[in-house]
């Protein structure tokens, strides 16, 4: 039995003819990540955390030069992790190398002070699936093999949030072991005996969640979510909270802030988001 758990760079699947020969840019994003060492006391102080608390922030707009994707920063026990994720199909529109983006994010005044004095422990770049179940190879099982984790497209990339990835990888690995045990009881590891793998996945949270969000990527790849909407929210908050001696009403401030977005765009996007997320 072979459990194919090779991650999103699925060379084994591709070279065995079990997945299309090349990943298409629409189904992946590129992530660049830094892990920066700081003491527990510094982290808790800077992020206003109590013992055993953690924190994760995401940001959209500026970090990716207003292209689809986002930035993240989260605390570990004795390190801060920060990074950028960019939908690869928009990479060609980027006016700078992606490693410049993480540099700019790290040097942003809001971020710089959080990691001041820290020591870089890890720097990595990795693809990540963004199309969920749509990025799966045609078959998740066959004679003598099962596919798990990122290699199977088991990741929920919800715009600037990665909801599942590690947990789907762990659970699909557990389910694969169960499927192999059942095939072992039957005494054969052919496609028919291993078909129990998809049945078990469907009973687990993995396929339930991935199927629920199967169209999410089509909505979340919409570029205006990361440009016009980010600018609208920034304008709205700035105008509303600016003390300039004029009375503010949310409705009129909103209309002044929406920039290029039309009311029809707003209604259409709201419906698509509610229907698919
Ligand atoms: C920037 C970024 C941020 C992320 N943030 C989150 C997050 O906040 N939450 C979350 O849940 N997930 C997150 N993820 C996703 C998560 O990392 C993956 O979903 C998860 O690691 C998938 O696990 P995996 O075991 O399937 O694949 P991988 O972790 O990619 O492991 C595959 C392993 O197989 C090895 N390998 C490949 N080919 C071969 C071969 N032929 N022979 C032997 N070994 C091989 C590789 O070297 C690798 O070690 C993030 C990913 C990125 C890139």
262-272 tens-digit pLDDT: 999 999 999 99
CB 120 within 8 A of CB 66: no
pLDDT > 70 in the chain, percent: 100
128 lines ligand 1 (CB under 6 A): yes
Contacts of 47 (CB under 8 A, 6+ apart): 55, 75, 114
pLDDT at 277 (0 to 100): 81
Rg, Å, the chain Cα set: 22
Inform me whether the pLDDT recorded for 6 exceeds 90: yes
Q: Is the pLDDT of residue 21 over 90?
A: no
Q: To test ligand 1's pocket by mutation, which of 7, 10, 81, 137 has the most ligand atoms within 8 angstroms of CB?
A: 7
What string of DSSP letters covers the chain? -EEE---SS-HHHHHTTSS-SS--GGGEEEEEEEEEE--HHHHHHHTT--TT---EEEE-SGGGTTSSEEEEEEE-SSEEEEEEEEEGGGGGG-SS-HHHHHHHHHHSHHHHHHHTT-EEEEEEEEEEE-SGGGGS-S-SEETTEEE-GGGGT--EEETTEEEESHHHHHHHHHHHHHHHHHHHHHT--SHHHHTHHHHHHHHSHHHHHHHHTTTHHHHHT-GGGTTHHHHHHHHHHHHHH--SSS---HHHHHHHH-TT--HHHHHHHHHHHHHH-
Res 163 pLDDT > 80? no
Q: Which atom of ligand 1 is nearest to the CA of 32?
A: 1
What's the CATH code, domain 2-23+131-213?
3.50.50.60
- Give 160's pLDDT tier (boundaries 50, 70, 90): confident
Ligand 1, atom 43, residue with closest C-alpha: 6
- Ligand 1 atom 28: residue of nearest CA: 7
Bridge partner residues of 129 (DSSP): 28
As a whole number, the mean pLDDT across the chain is 93
Q: How many residues does the chain have?
A: 277
- What pLDDT digit, counting tens, does each position of 230-256 carry? 999 999 999 989 998 988 888 888 998
Greatest mean pLDDT among 77-86, 160-169, 246-255: 77-86
Where are the domains positioned within the chain?
2-23+131-213, 29-123, 227-276
DSSP string, 108-168: SHHHHHHHTT-EEEEEEEEEEE-SGGGGS-S-SEETTEEE-GGGGT--EEETTEEEESHHH
Judged by average pLDDT, the poorest of 65-74, 104-113, 215-224 is 215-224
Q: Which atom of ligand 1 is nearest to the CA of 151?
A: 26
What percent of the chain is predicted at pLDDT more than 90? 78
């Amino acid at each position: 039995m072979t459990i194919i758990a090779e991650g999103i760079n699925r060379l084994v699947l591709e070279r065995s003819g079990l997945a299309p020969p090349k990943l298409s840019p629409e189904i992946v994003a590129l992530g660049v990540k830094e892990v920066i060492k700081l003491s527990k006391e510094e982290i808790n102080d800077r992020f206003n955390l109590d013992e055993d608390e953690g924190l994760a922030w995401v940001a959209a707009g500026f970090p990716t030069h207003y292209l689809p994707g986002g930035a993240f920063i989260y605390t570990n026990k004795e390190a801060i992790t920060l990074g950028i994720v960019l939908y690869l199909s928009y990479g060609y529109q980027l006016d700078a190398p992606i490693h410049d983006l993480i540099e700019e994010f790290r040097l942003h005044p809001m971020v710089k002070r959080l990691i001041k004095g820290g020591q870089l422990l890890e720097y990595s770049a990795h693809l990540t699936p963004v199309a969920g179940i749509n990025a799966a190879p045609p078959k998740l099982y066959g004679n003598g093999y099962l596919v798990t984790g990122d290699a199977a497209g088991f990741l929920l990339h919800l715009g600037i949030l990665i909801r599942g990835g590690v947990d789907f990888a762990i659970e699909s690995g557990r389910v694969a072991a169960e499927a192999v045990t059942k095939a072992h009881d039957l005494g054969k590891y052919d496609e028919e005996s291993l078909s129990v793998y998809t049945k078990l996945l469907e009973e687990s949270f993995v396929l339930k969640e991935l199927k629920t969000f199967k169209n999410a990527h089509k909505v979340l790849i919409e570029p205006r979510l990361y440009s016009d909407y980010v600018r609208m929210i920034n304008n709205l908050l700035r105008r509303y909270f600016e003390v300039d001696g004029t009375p503010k009403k949310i409705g009129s401030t909103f209309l002044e802030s929406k920039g290029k977005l039309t009311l029809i765009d707003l209604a259409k996007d709201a419906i698509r988001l509610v229907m698919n997320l």
